[in-house]
Structure 1
Amino acid sequence: MSSASTSVIPPSPRLPEAVPRSGLSDEARLALRQLLADYARALALAFAAGAEARALGAAHAALVSRVVAQVWTLHLGEPVGLALFAQGGFGRGRLYPHSDIDLLVLARDESVPVSRGLERVFAVLWDLGLKPAQAVRTLAAQHALAAQDLSVYTAQMEARWLGGDRALVGMPAALLGDTALWPLPRFLAARLHEQAQRRARRGDGSYRLEPDLKDGPGGLRQLDLLYWLGQRMGLPRELPALAHAGLLDAAAAAALESAEALLARDRYALHLQAGRAEERLLFDHQRALAQQLGYRDDAGALAVERFMQDYYRAAASVETLVDEAAQRLAWQLDPPPAPIALDDDWQRRGAALEPRAADLFRRRPAALVEGALRLDAAAGIEAFSADAAGAMRGALHALPRGALAQDAAALRAFDALLHRGAAAPPALTALARGGVLGALIPAFAAVSGRMQYDLFHQYTVDAHTLRVLAQLALFATPAAALEFALAHALWQRQQRVPVLLLAALFHDIAKGRGGDHSELGEIEVRGFAQRLGWTEGDIDSAAFLVRWHLLLSQTAQRQDIGDPQVVQVFAARVGDVQRLEMLYLLTVADIVGTSARLWNGFKDRLLADLYQAARHVLTGTDASLDEIARAAACRTAAHAQLLAAGHAAAAIEQLWEDFPAAAFVRQGAAQVAWQSAALLAAPGRLPVVAAQPHAARGALEVFFLAADRDGLFAAATAALEGEGYAVQEARILGTPSGRALDSFVLLDAHGAGHDAACIARLCKRLEAALRAPGTPRIAQTVPRRLRHFQRAPRIHCEPARAGTRTRLALRGSDRPGLLADIAEAFVASGVRVHDARIATFGDIAEDYFELTDRHDRPLDAAQCERLRAALLARLGPAATAAAVSRLALREPDEHA
């Protein structure tokens, strides 16, 4: 989009003269409606040509004000004791293309007749397409309501006279002059409380996937808070006035001016794109807006990602600077205790840290980092003061580019900060918020506000990184012992916490450059650790963690960790127990820091199992490679459990004569005993279905024994998905007599739980599906969010299990019924499934299968091609069409 200009704003059209109380004829009503529509189109064209959104909003509000005033005059004239006021954004003199117009009718007192003419006024405004939101009150009622309701009071602050009795023009301002009505300290406290509640409801709204431009943190409403505070102080609604009053410094005022212009631009464009008063940047609009506003794809990022990065940076700036202004005002109203000197450079004021000399940061830039060493929540020093933060930004702006990154004293201070362990992440967050972290590590500045256009990454890269660091610090607390028991235990014995923290800081730092961010990040962390003066051993460990930070989760979710060879290869890559422990901690923190919804009991158990198995290998205590010994040990333990439960030894042995031999190698004794008990309780019956809560919290384990047939896996998966369960893992074993013993690990997609009634219903539905011929169909309506992320599937086949099977990896867009469609393709291609590992990452499904043909032989090249064609045919035309899009070409890289 071209640079903003007010010169292209069309002049406001001339309205016909109004004859008081003459009413509005049908012809005049049509003419006014046409005039408003024509001007709206002219403003939209001006916006496309580069006009500034706030100026366009002012022009729109000016015309609407004249129209509303004329409609009032035509129907009511100038009634004595009754006046019309604009409120809200309309009262401030700014209207976005589809905003409502907030109106207030004030009557001097109850003796003033409120005529039916008002109803005609509002009806005409609706007919003109102006969407009025009106209130009619007496002055006394308005005063009483404003005293109780802060939103009413705030709306009154912006009331602007439009028509009616001119004697009432100053009434809203007169009410505001009542010193007992929301005095400034109470007004500030109430507004901050309201803001905190809004943040709590919306979460980290400025970093979410579909942020709210108006009411989200860092949105235009938060800027309004700053202006309202100024107005309550008697200041005009201008940033320079707020700076003059000491709430902002000049740099902050300039930054807020830029952020407000961008947010207003985005909101104006969003209204035009949506064709309604839409305030959320929904996926439905993001890509179109990016294109409309002139953003373009390049090798590092999509246009939509660049567009959203600008938004996130503006929102973060608003959040930070408005919070600082509120703190300054709070200190003006209630000065903190006298400063207490901490040393020659630093002092504290209440819970805030600040330099003793205003020029400290300019004299000695290393102090920008050293100050973080003084932040200590345990000692009651929680953050930099607003003035200190402003001074830090000023000093950073004055520094030559890259100077802080080469400052030896700053690097020493940063190294000391990392050595504070669990106390370091809050200080690192403070440095990031103030821009210091980006100046010290320029690569971090590059990912500030950077997002990835998908459903998996809920936070910008910098926000995600800080969440990962915070999660690592949480592992040190007693509160983590329940939900993150293994991580809490491992943290307690960590001797190289600085290495772990630096790896967390750098693990995603190369996002957006193209190429493998893990490999590029390894180069970055090596260079920085060398500047810190670390030993080669610590440098290598930090580099390993960054390069392989996805290894643990990818191995656990893509491969069969019950296979000793998989564990051996993984352990060999890790190399030693200390790195294994740090990798586990970083992996768990990374998953939770990506999205709390990604962490569940199944994933907890999966990662812990791989960690424990690899630890046994690395400590030389692993005896799992001998499959004969493993099977014998499982058989013995399961037999003992069944005997203890009252089952006869002869019955057990007879059952196991037709039990898959692989079951004793690839399942635990408890699982074998549970399956055997269910089968012993139903002798001669087929199918047998049983389910129980899985050892992993929140998961459900299901197995069945049934007569084998083509399509059995497809029928089972369709039934499970149809009941609202997401398959995480499947194991398909054949018995010597040709029956199928299949087991699944499920997660409830709807969070309904696993009570007895749910389990019984699931078993009943699964049993019915296994008895019925064919495969049941389930609804495949694609949710709104998923529709925007349809990618062409990637399909890859390779030998598995020493060449006895074929391993198929499938990666593509998730949707309801996907697994059932994949299973149908297997049936159509004459393929048998023996193992499946299923994972979903936002909008991406990543599934792995071990397959053979119907004669239990690996697939040849021709069979693989037929299977590929069958899969592509069933995975939908939208996915195939998306193959030509940029989204289809980029490989998602997180925990998948």
Structure 2
Amino acid sequence: MEKIPNRKEIINRKLLITEIDSIAAEYSPTSFEFRRELLEKLKSVLEGGTKELERRFLESNKGRPAMYANSFLIDQIIRTIYDVASKNVYRLSNPTPEETLSIVAVGGYGRGELAPYSDVDLLFLFPYKQTSWCEQVIEFTLYMLWDLGLKVGHSTRNVDECIRLAKKDVTIQTALLEARHLWGDQELFAEMRQKYMKEIVAGNSKDFIEAKLQERGERHERFGNSRYVVEPNIKEGKGGLRDLQTLFWIAKFLHGTTEISRLVELGVFTEKERRRFTKASNFLRTVRCHLHYLAKRPEERITFDMQPELAQRMGYKDHAGTLGVERFMKHYFLVAKDVGDLTRIFCANLEAEQQKKSRFAITRFGLRRRKLKGYRVESGRLNVTSDDDFKNAPVKMLDLFHLAQEKQLDVHPNALRLIRQDLKLINRKLRADKTANRLFLDMLTSRNDPETTLRRLNEAGVFGRFIPDFGRVVAQMQHDMYHVYTVDEHTIRAIGILSQIESGLLIEDHPLSHKILPKVLSRNVLYCAVLIHDIAKGRGGDHSILGAEVAEKLCPRLGLSASDTETVAWLVRYHLAFSNFAFKRDISDPKTVEDFAKIVQSPERLRLLLILTVVDIRAVGPKVWNGWKGQLLRELYYASETALTGGHISEGREERAKHLQENLTTALKGWKKADIEKQINRFYPSYWMATNSEDQIAHAKLMRKADKKGKLFTVDAKSDPFRSITEVTIFTADHPGLFARVTGAMSITGANIVDAKIHTTTDGMALDTFFIQDSDGKVFDAGERMKKLRVAIEATLQGDRKPHVEIIDRRKSSLPSRTQVFKVQPSVLLDNKASNTHTVIELMGRDRPGLLAELSRTLFTLSLTISSAHIATYGERAVDVFYVKDSFGHKITNKVKLSNIEKKLVLALTDKIASGTRGVKSKKKATATG
């Protein structure tokens, strides 16, 4: 264990024993009073030592010494308790050989590393047979530790049991590998240690290595199999402390040491790699200690609410275009990447050792070799033939990955290690090399799993060196709840999704994209656009505009023509346009299609932009995409395609309405002519433009049924699993505030509104359609949900329930929302150009319970009539768009009225009236990564 300065300031065990002796002199060691006084004394000492350790840590900001010092404090506490138990409480005048006990620290505690709130893992080792004295001492020790508030994991075994169980369980093997004698009988521990080395370690290195590497792989799968998730687990996640510890365990099992300097001597690591290893280890330990102190518990996830405080504690400040918290997390991801590199290096060394030991192939490290185009294939992995290959021909750093992709081979860890050492050879000269750029473009656009190849290039550091603009976003995160991955990981995943759509693997999820992709004139354009679309994030400006500038410089270098370069730059510039129009605007409004078509201008760009939008959204995170988003994108695509290929955009509204009315007349078989005319005359022209024939027929039947039964309130619902939506249609008497009341009622039943269409009939009825989902973005029809929804809406409209009151009560009793850690500047945009018939209000603010219902109530108090609502969220950021008219059915043009609307809505978006009337939040749909 490292030398710990001023130990007595942490705990003075000699003084503590003297004070305990004084207590023993006053009270009988077997009395309740003695235990009470002893516990109080130990609590005081532990509390004082813990405060001193936290003070030292915050002063030094070094996790490794803090963990050693914390282990020392607990060591002294345990030793003291054991001495009291064995010498005062259960003192033996003439102990037998069986009445001995050894306390052993195992696991991380055995290494002498103990994070502030981590478990204390102990092994109580006794001779062949456990005696009543051993049981009493163990019980006393454990109860005292538990009473002190420590989390103790323990086992009680003899030496033979330890060895027998270790042979069966690799977890026990690992725990004993790090065993450290803590107190008590040393000979007993030495006997166990000797048997362990002889019966467990000797000759079993291959099995142990295989077991630990398999265990690591399974753990990675459980924690997302990516080191680039934005709320990583620092202990168990990929690239975290457990990966480093796995290397420690294997090194100790093989070489009997965990000293990195010794591993350098053995040739496992170079001195430069040793420094990287030490830096990574120290950084992760420091972050983990901060996490524990902040949470006051063994917290291992770097959650959003922890990240800003961690960044501040570790000295990361805001720079132009980048928050301090984002700089901190980027450092974390780069460290996690280093851990991955060091793991590969270590495994390459293991393989080399195994090859020396045996000329026969073994289970994990087969030895079959063959030559392939100037490279060596070893066990299905491509390796160089000489350590100077890259120095002699730097282009081979790309050619190696290109050949591996072509032949479906992995890249050998030895080659990756050499690449790491020679990355400086990827310079301007190589970036300008036509062969190198051709190889890169081939890998990017390959039909043979480009995602895996690009990820390997990125892990090796080649990607960021060869494309410096991409290197700037490696490990770049955005501090929000919408983006699940770092920018580089998101981009690589998007390219992988594009490849899967093209190959037909995602045809059920994205039928339109798969259908139109073969019509795209240039695959290179599409793949380059996906590569570049987010490449300018973190630069302090609009990443779409800055990214287009990058495209104009990078694409010619990669060999694209001037026209293809222009198209890529356009796609990057407008890569958010499709989702913005589809998710925020009313697609049934001809002005929406007209404005979008003016931006797109050609069917080819429409195809390219749709596919780019789909892969962008899909790559944001595992739960972002759903069928409803796909439906909105498809609707806008088809409407725009019609406009761009000779169809009408805003012309022919009367003709279209007449055509739809004729279709309805034909479909309503068995209806009297007078009834059909009555149905048609019940609606204003806007209805015919905003609904399709299928819905119009369903509405007619619903309304007729309600009229015959004299029902003043009717609810109809149907679910579409493909679109991931449940469509709820409400037919009732129209009255002011109806929309706000219904949204409130839906909120208290857990329905998440993603879209709404509001229609008023000429005879004073309302026909409103709400598109809802559950909290997971799926249809809202499980169990008794719909029944509860109907009851809640009817009770609300009848005045029996007041949702806003219920919601206030829930807010007061609920736990704080995770979104509270984020700050989103409230924004209100009033747009009279987006629609020919409505004022479009776009609202943005921090998402919180009750936001949609509160906005609806505010619009009601402003005497505005809502025709449609389009609801979206981007993590913690809510963006809601309403198409509204004034009480006379006109756009709002009066400047005073517009100013008042803006003022009231900004107030509603803020948290200053958090206790006011609002409904539960609507789980809104996400758009493409912004």
TM-score normalised by structure 2 residue count: 0.89
C-alpha distance in 2, partners of 1:81/1:695?
A: 67
Give the Cα–Cα distance (whole angstroms) in 2 for the partners of residues 563 and 108 of structure 1: 84
- Structure 1 residue 578, shift from structure 2 partner: 2.2
1:374 is displaced (CA, Å) by: 0.7
For 1:724-735, list aligned pairs within 5 A. Answer: 724-735=750-761
Asked if structure 1 preserves the Cα contact closer than 8 Å seen for 2:61 and 2:314, the reply is no
Equivalent position to 1:772, from 799, 815, 832: 799
1:345-384 superposed matches below 5 A = 346-376=375-405, 379-381=407-409, 383-384=410-411
Query: Matched residues in 2 for 1:802 and 1:39: separation?
Result: 68
Shift of 1:690: 1.4
CA distance in 2, matches of 1:418, 1:126: 57
Q: Which residue of 1 aligns with 2:179?
A: 159
Give yes or no for the alignment of 1:188 onto 2:224: no
| Range that drifts further, 798-807 or 366-375 | 798-807
SS at match of 1:97: coil
Alpha-carbon displacement from aligned partner over 1:233-261 (angstroms, at most 9, x marks no partner):
13311223344545444443332221111
Q: How does 1:246-257 map to 2 (within 5 A)?
A: 247-257=268-278
Structure-1 residue corresponding to 2:695: 671
Q: Give the secondary-structure state (helix, strand or coil) at the position aligned to 2:727.
A: strand
Counterpart for residue 253 of structure 2: 232
Offset from partner CA, 1:707-732 (integer Å, 9 cap, x none): 22111110111112222122111121
- Alignment partners' CA distance in 1, 2:58 and 2:392: 47
Question: Larger deviation: 496-505 or 746-755?
Answer: 746-755
Residues 1:267 and 2:288 are matched in the alignment = yes
8 Å CA contact 2:724, 2:779 repeated in 1: no
1:862 counterpart = 2:892:
no
After superposition, what is the alpha-carbon deviation per residue over 1:367-395, rounded to whole angstroms, capped at 9, x for unaligned?
A: 11122211237x441x2111010000100
Compared CA separation, residues 810 and 588, structure 1 to 2 (3 A): same
Larger deviation: 611-620 or 413-422? 413-422
Unmatched segments (≥5 aa) in structure 1: 882-891
Residues 638 and 673, structure 1, Cα contact 8 Å, conserved in 2: yes
User: For the residues of structure 2 that align with 1:802 and 1:728, how far apart are their CA atoms?
Assistant: 20
Give the alignment partner of residue 313 of structure 1, picking from 334, 348, 359. 334
Matched, 1:560 2:586: yes
For 2:834 and 2:251, the matched residues in 1 are separated by 71
| Whole-angstrom CA distance in 2 between matches of 1:504 and 1:184 | 45
List per-residue Cα deviations over 1:737-763 (Å, max 9, x = no partner). Answer: 232222121122255742585434433
Aligned pair 1:795/2:828, yes or no? yes
How big is each residue's C-alpha offset from its partner over 1:806-843, in whole Å with a ceiling of 9 and x where there is no partner?
21110111122211111111122222111211112211
Give the Å deviation of 1:226: 0.7
> In structure 1, the residue corresponding to 2:482 is in which secondary structure?
coil
Structure 2 partner of 1:841: 874
Structure 1 residues 845 and 475, CA gap change in structure 2 (3 angstroms): same
1:410-449 aligned within 5 A: 410-421=436-447, 423-449=449-475
CA distance in 1, matches of 2:331, 2:146: 36
Deviations 1:512-560, CA, capped at 9 Å, x for gaps: 1111011111111211112223210111111111111111111101112
Match of residue 789 from structure 2: 762
Name the SS for the 2:638 alignment partner: helix
Partner of 1:124: 144
Contact 1:422-1:476 at 8 Å conserved across structures: no
Matches within 5 A, 1:22-61: 30-50=40-60, 52-61=62-71
The 10-residue stretch of structure 1 (615-624 or 91-100) with the greater mean CA deviation from structure 2: 615-624
Structure 2 CA distance for aligned equivalents of residues 861 and 8 of structure 1: 72
Kept in 1, the 8 Å contact 2:115–2:288? The answer is yes
Match of 1:223 in 2: 244
1:173-228 deviations in Å (ceiling 9; x for gaps):
22422446792222222222222222222214633332211112211111111111
8 Å CA contact 1:730–1:744 kept in 2: the answer is yes
CA distance in 2: counterparts of 1:761 and 1:552, whole angstroms: 36
Pair 1:320–1:676, CA change in 2 (3 A): farther
Distance 1:595 1:726 in 2: 19
Structure 2, unmatched stretches of 5+, are 355-361, 916-925
Contact 1:729-1:745 at 8 Å conserved across structures: yes
Instruction: Name the stretch that deviates more: 51-60 or 263-272.
Output: 51-60
Q: Is the 8 A contact 1:305 1:451 kept in 2?
A: yes
- Matched residue of 2:873: which SS? strand
Larger mean CA deviation between 117-126 and 289-298 belongs to 117-126
CA offsets 1:626-665 (integer angstroms, 9 cap, x no match) = 112221222222333332xx54444232222212332211
In structure 2, the residue corresponding to 1:514 is in which secondary structure?
A: coil
What is the one-letter code of the residue matched to 1:260? S
Corresponding pairs, count: 877
Say whether the 8 Å CA contact 2:535–2:547 is kept in structure 1.
yes
The alignment status of 1:821 with 2:854, answered yes or no, reads yes
1:6 CA displacement: 8.6
1:411 partner letter? N
Change (3 A) 1:205 1:782: farther
Which segment drifts farther, 174-183 or 335-344?
174-183
Q: Partner letter of residue 57 of structure 1? A: M
Q: Counterparts of 1:639 and 1:755 in 2: how far apart (Å)?
A: 36
Mark the CA change 1:419 to 1:380 in structure 2 (over 3 Å): closer, same or farther.
Answer: closer
From 315, 319, 344, the equivalent of 1:298 is: 319
CA contact (8 A) 1:205 1:211 kept: no
Distance across 2 between alignment mates of 1:564 and 1:600: 25
Q: Answer whether contact 1:227 1:237 (CA < 8 A) is retained.
A: yes
- Provide the C-alpha distance between the structure 1 equivalents of 2:713 and 2:752, rounded to a whole number of angstroms: 22
Q: Give a deviation string over 1:400-442, Cα, whole Å, max 9, x none.
A: 7655434444223223333424543322111111000110111
CA distance in 2, matches of 1:309, 1:302: 11
Query: Does 1:210 find its partner at 2:208?
Result: no
Aligned with 1:501 (options 519, 527, 541)? 527
> Please, what TM-score do these two structures have when normalized by structure 1?
0.92
Q: Which amino acid aligns with 1:660?
A: Y
CA contact 2:832–2:840 (8 Å) conserved in 1: yes
The 2-side partners of 1:539 and 1:792 are apart by 36
Kept after mapping to 1: 8 A contact 2:166/2:200: no
Look up the match of 2:166.
146
Distance verdict in 2 for CA 1:406–1:6, change over 3 Å:
farther
